């Protein structure tokens, strides 16, 4: 037959099977998997684009040029011709005077369009509530940060001398977008209008000043302008792209995305189980039709072509329906997580559709195709003898294809080789345990079914008689219940642990530039404010010069973070103990005997950005002194703990003699915070940075992420229902025949239905117990491996598992089989005949 006739025959057959419901379960499983992946994929792609856009606020622009001399006018003119908005900023240190008090400050003189990205935040009083503004100081006025105002004893409305002129202090400067992305950099001290700068006479030949040109506009125009600048580089001008956003917010967003991806992965894996079971059922229902087709002269090629065409059509329909459902569901997720990005999210990428298609293809080829391949070898004798079945595929082919499909699905969704291996090993191990438990159940029911009542005897006989089918049902129910418990119970525990890690008393004030000699007095002052037992961490600045004896200038790093680590000064610290918010992922922590050894512990971000590994040698310039150390350990850092954390940590005594300062973080409530003004006057070198706004945003992200995960879990629930339907459908024909025989021999409908209920209760209780054990183990692994959280299984998990499995599988399975059992015996037997 021609390809056209094969396709026409396949489409007619598929339409009949969809109308009869035989292919609907397979279609539903595929559609749920695609919908789950596209919903989460669309949203995470929009968040990634939104975060990249919001990261421009770190520069107050899309692109920034910095130089020790004024930026050439032709460079600014070229940008304006290319359709970019332009602003300028001049920064330099100077001393401010008010009465007999003085303070060294960083002056930032800006033009009216500043900032091009982000907002300046101002307050009416030092350390008071701040609001966002698009304005800059008017001519003749300045905005000062809280610490400077407190040290100089200034109140809004007072004037102070800035160079050769006097300017009026009108607003407290709480935040400037390009002040820094971290929590350990100096906050801006003074913002003024660039029009007032010449009158101050502070900029003279040889003055230490930094000139910046800021550019913003459409992404294509910015990219073209950046390319033009790099085509003719000026060694004296530094080009800065948008850096990453705050590590604390970035960590919270990353965790929210991981929770969403975990929920989506759960739905996809569960849907894959549904695809495997429904495809097996679908293939078994086609055996008689294929045998008849062969009797009429159909070739193996034609049979296989029809099966492949029908499978491809189901996959295409599921991809379309799932993508549409995912797009609709994504709008709901975006609404729930609207606080992740302040502005409206960009349009979604089409990449999730490609990933969903690849995942669906892996399911079809790995778990749905093998039973259909067997159909081509169905013997024509099947028309006369029901026991004539197509031969099985070669030993190990089906498990091998399923394992390849599992790896492909995990890789497409995770993209981390080590994590894929761990997840695949976990899924295979759980499946093996469930299968072993199913075989044990089959053996046990054969021995003990004689000591129970009629209904239980019939139900347990069904379990033992079906053997392989019962084992497959235990595996399917167990995986389904494990994933549902993981999302219903364990997910709540992990969310509570995450929320507790950013609790009501998480540090909301960072104190930096603490002189070592001020530490004892500062501790007492903080204790008087209500912040006792405050840990202090030493900080020194250093620049990386080489990796494994190769100069850093000769190395190339693709990512912006790698270039930033290589170019900028780093904050170093030392500690005898591993910090509470850090977890070792490689190497070992030092002991007291290792103090003073040339070692360093690096964070995973530092490792990934600079492509480092254990044993690599890193050279630093520490205040003009060379220092070479080797990587002794790698740490995963919880940046959203709001306690001081570092990319680089050294052993004690190695950096003795290096001059530095100290840093700490404290929690102060609204009643205690006004005392910071007096503390700033007493310790004028200490800078206080308020992180209440970031804390509030992280807490909002946690709450919204919890809602979004519950929302995405609906896909998992749908996949669980499909698995249940597929499991019941797998034995529907056999149950119909058994029910007809028993009722013909005198058994009542109630007795038969009670036996079915007993069967599903036995399967459900065992599946629930094993599902709870799997959820507890998976929860611990997820908490430890993915989220760096502590996790102790909730004792209620076991009760939920056993009772949930018994009730959910028992009741749902009985209700689903009720129609089969209730069919008239004569009708069932005639259909079988």
Query: What element of type H or E holds 151?
Result: helix 146-152
User: Token digits for 507?
Assistant: 């540090």
Per the CB < 8 A criterion, the answer to whether 617 and 628 are in contact is: yes
CA–CA separation, 115 and 61 (whole Å): 7
Least confident of 187-201, 334-348, 422-436, 722-736: 334-348
Q: Share the mean pLDDT of the chain.
A: 77
End-to-end Cα, the chain, rounded Å: 31
Instruction: State residue 337's pLDDT score.
Output: 60
Contact 727, 549 (CB under 8 A): no
pLDDT per position as a tens digit, 136-186: 999 999 999 887 888 888 889 998 888 888 999 999 998 887 765 333 344
Tell whether omega for the bond before 437 is within 30 degrees of 0, i.e. cis: no
The first and second tokens of residue 488, run together, are 């219903």
Measured CA to CA, the distance from residue 528 to residue 507 in angstroms comes to 17
Peptide bond into 115 cis (omega under 30): yes
pLDDT for 243 beyond 50: no
Q: What is the pLDDT of residues 788-801, one digit of tens each?
A: 667 777 777 888 88
Say whether pLDDT at 426 is over 80.
Answer: no
Per-residue CA distances from 814 to 446, 626, 722, 763 (Å) = 22, 75, 15, 12
Q: Give whichever of 149-153, 336-340, 730-734, 735-739 has the largest mean pLDDT.
A: 149-153
pTM: predicted TM-score of the whole model, two decimal places: 0.58
b (16+ CB within 10 A) / e for 422-455: bbbeebeebbebbbebbeebbeebeeebeeeeeb
Q: Which of 100-104, 385-389, 525-529, 728-732 has the lowest mean pLDDT?
A: 385-389
Q: What is the pLDDT of residue 185?
A: 42
Report how far residue 478's alpha carbon sits from residue 768's, in angstroms, rounded to the nearest whole number.
6
Q: Which residues contact 2 (CB under 8 A, 6 or more apart)?
A: none
Distance of CA 264 to the CA centre of its chain: 11
Residues 707-718 pLDDT 10s: 666 666 677 677
Residue 705: the pLDDT is 64
Angle at 783 between CA 777 and CA 785, to 5 degrees: 95
In tens, the pLDDT along 99-134 reads: 777 777 889 999 999 998 888 889 888 878 888 888
Distance CA 100, CA 681 (A): 13
Domain ranges of the chain: 1-60+240-372, 85-216, 428-505+690-833, 532-666
Separation between Cα atoms, residue 264 and residue 39, nearest integer Å: 9
Q: Which whole number is the average pLDDT over 342-359?
A: 73
pLDDT of 589: 93
Residue range 674-704, pLDDT digits in tens: 777 777 777 877 777 766 666 666 666 666 6
CB within 8 A of 15, min separation 6: which ones?
none
CA-only gyration radius of the chain, Å:
34
| 368-372-373-374 Cα dihedral, nearest 10 degrees | 120
DSSP strand pairing (509-514 vs 687-690):
antiparallel
Closest CA to 220 of 82, 109, 355: 82
Out of 4-13, 41-50, 420-429, 507-516, give the one with best mean pLDDT: 507-516
Q: Report the C-alpha gap between 440 and 442 in whole angstroms.
A: 5
pLDDT at 182: 39
């Amino acid at each position: 037959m021609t390809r056209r006739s094969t396709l026409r025959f396949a489409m007619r057959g598929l339409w009949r099977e969809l109308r009869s419901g035989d292919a609907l379960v397979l279609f539903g499983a595929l559609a749920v998997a695609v919908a789950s992946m596209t919903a989460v994929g669309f949203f995470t792609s929009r968040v990634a684009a939104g975060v990249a856009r919001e990261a421009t606020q770190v520069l107050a622009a899309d692109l920034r040029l910095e130089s020790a001399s004024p930026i050439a006018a032709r460079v600014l003119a070229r940008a304006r011709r290319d359709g970019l908005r332009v602003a300028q900023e001049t920064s330099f240190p100077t001393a401010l005077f008010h009465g007999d008090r003085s303070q060294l400050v960083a002056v930032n003189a800006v033009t009216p369009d500043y900032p091009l990205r982000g907002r300046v935040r101002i307050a009416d009083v030092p350390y008071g509530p701040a609001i966002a503004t698009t304005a800059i100081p008017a001519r003749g006025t300045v905005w000062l940060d809280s610490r400077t105002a407190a040290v100089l004893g200034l109140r809004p409305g007072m004037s102070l001398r800035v160079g050769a002129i006097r300017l009026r202090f009108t607003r407290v400067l709480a935040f400037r977008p390009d002040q820094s992305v971290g929590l350990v950099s100096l906050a801006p001290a003074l913002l003024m209008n660039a029009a007032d700068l010449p009158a101050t006479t502070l900029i003279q030949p040889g003055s230490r000043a930094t000139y910046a040109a800021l550019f913003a506009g459409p992404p294509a125009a910015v990219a073209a302008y950046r390319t033009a600048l790099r085509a003719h580089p000026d060694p004296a001008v530094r080009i800065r792209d948008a850096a990453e956003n705050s590590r604390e917010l970035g960590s919270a967003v990353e965790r929210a995305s991981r929770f969403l991806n975990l929920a989506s992965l759960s739905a996809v894996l569960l849907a894959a189980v549904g695809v495997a079971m429904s495809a097996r059922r679908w293939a078994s229902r086609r055996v008689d039709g294929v045998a008849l087709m062969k009797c009429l002269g159909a070739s193996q090629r034609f049979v296989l072509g029809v099966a492949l065409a029908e499978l491809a059509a189901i996959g295409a329909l599921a991809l379309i329906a799932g993508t549409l459902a995912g797009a609709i569901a994504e709008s709901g997720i975006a609404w729930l997580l609207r606080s992740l990005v302040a502005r409206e999210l960009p349009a979604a990428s089409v990449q999730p559709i490609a990933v969903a298609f690849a995942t669906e293809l892996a399911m079809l080829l790995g778990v749905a195709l093998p039973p259909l391949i067997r159909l081509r070898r169905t013997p024509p004798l099947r028309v006369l003898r029901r026991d004539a079945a197509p031969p099985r595929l070669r030993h190990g082919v089906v498990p091998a294809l399923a394992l390849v499909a599992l790896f492909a699905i995990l890789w497409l969704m995770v993209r981390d080789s080590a994590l894929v291996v761990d997840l695949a090993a976990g899924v295979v191990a759980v499946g093996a345990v469930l299968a072993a438990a199913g075989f044990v159940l089959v053996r046990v029911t054969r021995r003990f079914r004689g000591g129970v009542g009629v209904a239980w005897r019939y139900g347990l006989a069904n379990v033992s008689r079906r053997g392989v089918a019962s084992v497959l049902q235990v595996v399917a129910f167990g995986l389904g219940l494990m994933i549902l418990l993981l999302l219903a119970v364990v997910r709540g525990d992990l969310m509570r642990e995450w929320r507790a890690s950013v609790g009501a008393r998480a540090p909301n004030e960072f104190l930096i530039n603490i002189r070592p000699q001020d530490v004892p007095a500062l501790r007492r002052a903080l204790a008087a404010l209500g912040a006792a037992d405050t840990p202090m961490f030493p900080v020194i600045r250093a620049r990386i010069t080489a990796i494994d004896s190769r100069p850093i200038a000769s190395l190339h790093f693709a990512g912006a973070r790698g270039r930033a680590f290589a170019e900028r000064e780093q904050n170093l610290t030392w500690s005898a103990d591993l910090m509470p918010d850090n977890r070792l992922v490689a190497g070992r922590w030092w002991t007291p005997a290792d103090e003073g050894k040339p070692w360093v512990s690096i964070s995973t971000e530092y490792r990934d950005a600079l492509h480092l590994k254990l044993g690599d040698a890193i050279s630093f310039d520490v205040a003009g002194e060379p220092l070479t150390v080797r990587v002794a350990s790698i740490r995963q850092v919880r940046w959203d703990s709001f306690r001081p954390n570092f990319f680089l940590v050294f052993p004690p005594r190695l950096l003795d003699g290096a001059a530095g300062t100290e840093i700490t973080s404290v929690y102060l409530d609204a009643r205690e915070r006004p005392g910071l003004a007096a503390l700033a006057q007493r310790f004028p070198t200490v800078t206080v940075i308020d992180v209440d706004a970031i804390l509030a945003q992280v807490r909002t992200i946690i709450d919204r992420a919890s809602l979004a995960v519950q929302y995405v879990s609906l896909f998992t629930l749908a996949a669980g229902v499909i698995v249940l339907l597929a499991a019941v459908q797998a034995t529907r024909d056999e149950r119909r025949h058994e029910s007809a025989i028993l009722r013909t021999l005198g058994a009542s409908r109630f007795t038969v239905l009670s036996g079915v209920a007993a069967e599903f209760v036995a399967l459900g209780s065992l599946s629930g117990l094993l599902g709870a054990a799997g959820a507890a183990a998976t929860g611990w692994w997820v908490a430890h491996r993915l989220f760096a959280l502590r996790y102790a299984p909730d004792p209620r998990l076991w009760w939920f598992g056993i009772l949930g499995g018994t009730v959910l599988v028992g009741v749902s399975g009985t209700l689903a089989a009720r129609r089969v059992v209730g069919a008239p015996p004569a009708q069932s037997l005639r259909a079988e005949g």
